[in-house]
Amino acid sequence: MRTENQKAWFFVLPVLALVAFNALVPMMTVVNYSVQETFGNNQFFWEGLGWFEQILRSDRFQAALGRQFLFTFLILLIEVPLGIIVALSMPRKGFWVPVCLVLMALPMLIPWNVVGSMWNIFTLPKIGLLGYFLNDVLGINYDMTQQPLSAWITVVIMDVWHWTSLVVLLCYAGLVSIPDAYYQAAKIDGASPWSVFRYIQLPKMKTVLTIAVLLRFMDSFNIYTEPFVLTGGGPGNSTTLLSIDLVKIALGQFDLGPAAAMSLIYFAITLLVSWVFYTLMTKDDAQ
Amino acid sequence: MKKRSLIPILYIAFLMLPIYWLVAMSFKTTNEILSGFSLFPQTFTLENYITIFTDPTWYWGYINSIAYVTINTVLSVCVALPAAYAFSRYRFLGDKQLFFWLLTNRMAPAAVFALPFFQLYSSIGLFDTYLAVALAHTLFNVPLAVWILEGFMRGIPKELDETAYVDGYSFPRFFVTIFLPNIKAGVGVAAFFCFMFSWVEMLLAKTLTAVEAKPIAAVMTRTASSAGYELGLLAAAGTLTIIPGAIVIWFVRNYIARGFAMGRV
């Protein structure tokens, strides 16, 4: 049991100072810009909530938001079940366990821009392994720089390649914590593989699965570098996700007001959905 | 049993294919890459690697990246240790709210922070230094380190602390000589994750640097656009960025699964 002690605050102070400096100052800058209009020369005029209204009503933002939700939905839909399946079929002990774990974790340790470049090289028609195989061996017309559908499939598969291992590792951590006695009891009772999964493995994986879904939601919703390097948001705007659009407005066009308003809306959405997951997670912890 | 192990094998093969292609590309000449498809390098060349190791713009990219990643890892773990101890051992006013607020920073889209960070670090004169990138990355690494360490510390019974105090240990002495050795694995995992997320993050690292502290990613993109897309060189540079990750992951291989679960298994 944890004891009540207000002096514990002193232990937290360094973290608080560091994160506050990094989070609060930039946040205030963003809030500041979001309610003002500038015509350059450091002259600012009060704009009120105008930018927020403009962003929320703009087709461009709505389209990017729609693409973002579709992307995140597809990612969760593919990566979570796939991760569970791979984790269930992994060996539990022996020589191959560390080998599997290291190989599976490898994609996550590659810098995000390299992931984008790697998939670019991998999928280029004529040059890339996948591009060559699809176009010249199977005869499928595939070019992610020209066709929106190909670009979408490539971006989704790239993310599946990059992050499914996170779900695998989390589920695996949950699975190895199940004592052997549980399985023996299930065997004696003649339980089917499905009921072993449903009543022993799934409940044990519940906490880690929530963490996995939370992390995968946050990271896929905030994704920027990989799709930007791979497709640059194209062809056209077809793979322009929220972060790509935001960086275009903020650093490309330097429209500070709209970019700031969009930042706050974006952050609010991420926060809201993550908060739902977080409450679910801590509710499990308390039980 | 045989059929079951097919799934991990297929999955790992899927993971390794693009990596294989990157490595294979890095040993090919530009001529071979552009002239047509070949599964293995026909004229095996080290040219691309030699370029990287002899050109200062290239190898300084790696040195810069490793420099800010190291500063960030040390800084994040050092400030996170006492905070995680406080969260795992004591209840205090606003502890839950503070913990959640820390986590919200892990949720913030990096794109939101790019421009304000640029202005903040320019105004305090840190723009284009290792420290700027290292400090910026603490935004998401410190909350993560606190979370992981707290998970590991919760597993250490409180009796350990109490016995030490009864034996006359002061808090700093207890923390360093008794408590830290007990959560070695947790510290290792936290350091690994700080290393990992600082190493792979590129948007902030690129925004906060120009010449002096330019990370390898920025060198790669500039080369890609200026030198007419030398794929072989790009592939070699990419291959080299995989190596540090592969080395550190080997050290924590027995703890990665638990680490990804933030010590909560």
Q: Does residue A111 lie within any of the structural domains?
A: yes
Q: Which two tokens stand for residue B89?
A: 């051992």
Query: From the list B79, B100, B241, which residue is nearest A14 (CB)?
Result: B79
Instruction: Please check whether residues B15 and B60 belong to one and the same domain.
Output: no
Instruction: Please check whether residues B67 and B30 belong to one and the same domain.
Output: no
Residues facing A4 on adjacent strands: B91
Residue ranges in chain B assigned as alpha helix (H): 2-26, 30-35, 47-54, 56-89, 95-107, 110-123, 130-154, 159-166, 171-174, 180-182, 184-200, 203-207, 216-226, 231-251, 256-260
Closest residue of B to A168, CA-based? Answer: B257
Q: Does residue B50 lie within any of the structural domains?
A: no
Distance from CA of A128 to the nearest CA of B (A): 8
CA-closest candidate to residue B186, choices B65, B62, B106, B88: B88
Q: What is the pLDDT of residues A60-109, one digit of tens each?
A: 888 899 999 999 999 999 999 999 999 998 888 778 888 888 899 899 99
What is the helix (H) or strand (E) element at residue B263, kind and residue range? none
Q: Which two tokens stand for residue A97?
A: 């366990």
Instruction: Please check whether residues B37 and B125 belong to one and the same domain.
Output: no
Q: Does residue A21 lie within any of the structural domains?
A: no
Number of domains in chain B: 2
Sequence length of chain B is 265
Q: What pLDDT, on a 0 to 100 scale, did the predictor assign at position B104?
A: 82
Domain encompassing residue B32: 1-45
Split at pLDDT 50, 70, 90, the class of B261 is: low
Q: Does residue B231 lie within any of the structural domains?
A: yes
Distance from CA of A235 to the nearest CA of B (A): 18
Q: Does residue A163 lie within any of the structural domains?
A: yes
Distance from CA of A69 to the nearest CA of B (A): 15
CA-closest candidate to residue A232, choices B24, B224, B117: B224
d(CA B265, CA B263): 6
Q: What is the pLDDT of residues B9-64, one digit of tens each?
A: 999 999 999 999 999 988 988 778 777 777 888 788 888 898 888 888 888 889 99
Q: What is the pLDDT of residues B212-229, one digit of tens each?
A: 888 888 888 776 655 556
Number of domains in chain A: 1
Q: Does residue B75 lie within any of the structural domains?
A: yes
Q: What pLDDT, on a 0 to 100 scale, did the predictor assign at position B71?
A: 95
CA-closest candidate to residue A202, choices A180, A179, A181, A175: A175
Q: What pLDDT, on a 0 to 100 scale, did the predictor assign at position A41?
A: 61
Split at pLDDT 50, 70, 90, the class of A152 is: very high
Inter-chain residue contact A18 with B260, CB threshold 8 Å: no
Residues facing B90 on adjacent strands: A3
Beta strand B90-91 with A36-38 is: unpaired
Under 8 Å between Cβ of B249 and B91 = no
Instruction: Please check whether residues B63 and B188 belong to one and the same domain.
Output: yes
Q: Does residue B265 lie within any of the structural domains?
A: no
Is pLDDT above 90 for A276? no
The DSSP code for A192 is -
Q: Does residue A136 lie within any of the structural domains?
A: yes
d(CA B172, CA B164): 11
Q: Kindly provide the ipTM of the predicted complex, given to two decimals.
A: 0.86
CA-closest candidate to residue A19, choices B193, B125, B113, B209: B113
Query: From the list B18, B36, B257, which residue is nearest A122 (CB)?
Result: B18
Percent of chain A with pLDDT over 70: 95
Instruction: Please check whether residues B207 and B168 belong to one and the same domain.
Output: yes
Q: Does residue A232 lie within any of the structural domains?
A: yes
Q: Which two tokens stand for residue B88?
A: 């795992």
Q: What pLDDT, on a 0 to 100 scale, did the predictor assign at position B209?
A: 87
CATH of the domain at B245: 1.10.3720.10
Inter-chain residue contact B257 with A127, CB threshold 8 Å: no
Under 8 Å between Cβ of A253 and A60 = no
Say whether residue B2 is in contact with chain A using an 8 A CB cutoff. Answer: no
Q: What pLDDT, on a 0 to 100 scale, did the predictor assign at position B186?
A: 86
Q: What is the pLDDT of residues B71-115, one digit of tens each?
A: 999 999 999 999 999 998 888 888 888 888 888 888 788 888 888
Inter-chain residue contact B111 with A247, CB threshold 8 Å: yes
The DSSP code for B261 is T
Q: What pLDDT, on a 0 to 100 scale, did the predictor assign at position B224?
A: 62
Q: What is the pTM (predicted TM-score) of this model?
A: 0.87
Q: What pLDDT, on a 0 to 100 scale, did the predictor assign at position A281?
A: 67
Q: Does residue A54 lie within any of the structural domains?
A: no
CATH of the domain at A252: 1.10.3720.10
Instruction: Please check whether residues B129 and B187 belong to one and the same domain.
Output: yes
Instruction: Please check whether residues B164 and B240 belong to one and the same domain.
Output: yes
